[in-house]
């Protein structure tokens, strides 16, 4: 019975994780649209201010208790990783790189999340898990090379930094979710970041808001409400239920979902090469799901 219950818990974790990935898969296309009309600093950090306002409403109406001060360092890690690091660095990258290209680089997120899960969440994946995680990541890197990257640009470095920041923020948020719940973690992290971010965001507010295109505004609203707020409700719940390393592998699907979204929203090209690599990554995700991971 316990085995069945654990299996059901892991399945629920995958479902929540997939919902989170579906939300996050639109982040780069929406960011690229947003930076066509807004300063990248405003897009990268301003979305946290919008989400913090929603967080305050939710925390007050549900009468949540303020976390004890001893958890402050852990919440600061979440802030550095997913409130500041990934949003700001990805917004900078989206000035110069196509969303589809950025999607491929962020395909390294599952490996980053798994490594941080070992470090921060105390998980111990088996050797077969690392094999499939490595194969999936190798496919992503191979896709980048085949697609013609080759040399590193500022956008590449920014995206790699974003991957490292997000992996750490995901793992730490999953650890905190064990104590506070999934949505509470991101809400408290957003509120904690507000005093630091608000002065910076105000300095980058567009001088003429009326000149901003509707598309740029919608892109900014998407990354504020969905990418920075609602998506984390499902994502942290998935990591909590199914484990950081295991559910984190669902992110291997994110680059290809993002590429499809980029094709539909931005007119970027979907090639047969993308389809082939996507199939290989999906197989790695399916096989990795069956491997053993020792929980903390």
The two three-digit tokens of residue 75, written as one number:
């919440």
Q: What is the mean pLDDT of residues 20-38?
A: 93
pLDDT band at 3 (very low <50, low <70, confident <90, very high): very low
Quick one: which H or E segment has residue 293? Answer: strand 293-294
When the pLDDT of each residue in the chain is averaged and rounded to a whole number, the result is 84
Distance (Å, whole) CA 216 – CA 203 = 19
Distance of CA 294 to the CA centre of its chain: 24
Whether pLDDT at 181 is above 60: yes
Q: What is residue 35's predicted lDDT score, i.e. its pLDDT?
A: 92
Give 55-88 pLDDT, tens digit per residue.
Answer: 999 999 999 999 999 999 999 999 999 999 999 9
pLDDT of residue 184: 95
pLDDT at residue 244 greater than cutoff 50:
yes
The token pair that represents 253 in the structure block:
């699907």
Gap between the Cα atoms of 152 and 78, Å rounded: 27
Give the closest residue to 39 by CA, choosing from 80, 88, 86, 85: 88
Q: CA-CA distance, 8 to 223, in Å (whole number)?
A: 31
For range 22-37, the mean pLDDT: 93
Angle separating helix axes 154-180 and 109-120, nearest 10 degrees: 40
87 vs 3 pLDDT, higher one = 87
Q: Higher model confidence: residue 33 or residue 100?
A: 33
End-to-end, the C-alpha distance of the chain in Å comes to 21
Q: Which residue ranges make up each domain of the chain? A: 2-294
d(CA 178, CA 74): 13
Is the pLDDT assigned to residue 196 strictly greater than 90? yes
pLDDT digits (tens, 9 = 90+) for 104-159: 777 778 777 777 777 766 667 778 777 877 887 788 777 766 765 555 577 778 88
């Amino acid at each position: 019975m316990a085995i069945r219950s654990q299996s059901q818990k892991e399945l629920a974790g995958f479902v929540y994780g997939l919902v989170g990935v579906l939300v996050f898969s639109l982040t780069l296309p929406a960011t690229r649209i947003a930076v066509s009309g807004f300063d990248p600093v405003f897009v990268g950090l301003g979305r946290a201010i919008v989400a913090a306002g929603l967080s305050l409403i939710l925390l007050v109406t549900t009468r949540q208790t303020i976390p004890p001060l001893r958890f402050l360092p852990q919440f600061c890690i979440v802030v550095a990783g997913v409130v500041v690091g990934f949003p700001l660095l990805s917004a900078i990258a989206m000035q110069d790189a196509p969303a589809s290209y950025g999607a491929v680089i962020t395909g390294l997120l599952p490996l980053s999340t798994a490594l941080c899960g070992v470090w921060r969440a105390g998980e111990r994946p088996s050797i077969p898990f690392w094999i499939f995680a490595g194969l999936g990541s190798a496919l992503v890197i191979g896709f980048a090379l085949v697609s013609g990257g080759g040399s590193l640009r500022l956008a590449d470095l920014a995206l790699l930094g974003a991957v490292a920041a997000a992996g750490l923020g995901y793992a730490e948020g999953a650890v905190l979710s064990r104590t506070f719940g999934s949505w509470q973690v991101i809400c408290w992290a957003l509120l904690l970041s507000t005093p630091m971010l608000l002065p910076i965001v105000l300095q980058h507010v567009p001088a003429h808001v009326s000149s901003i295109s509707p598309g740029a505004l919608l892109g900014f609203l998407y990354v504020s409400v969905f990418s920075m707020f609602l998506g984390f409700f499902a994502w942290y719940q998935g990591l909590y239920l199914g484990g950081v390393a295991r559910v984190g592998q669902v992110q291997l699907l994110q680059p290809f979902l993002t590429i499809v979204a980029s094709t539909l929203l931005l007119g970027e090209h979907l090639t047969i090469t993308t389809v082939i690599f996507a199939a290989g990554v999906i197989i790695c995700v399916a096989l990795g799901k069956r491997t053993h991971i020792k929980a903390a």
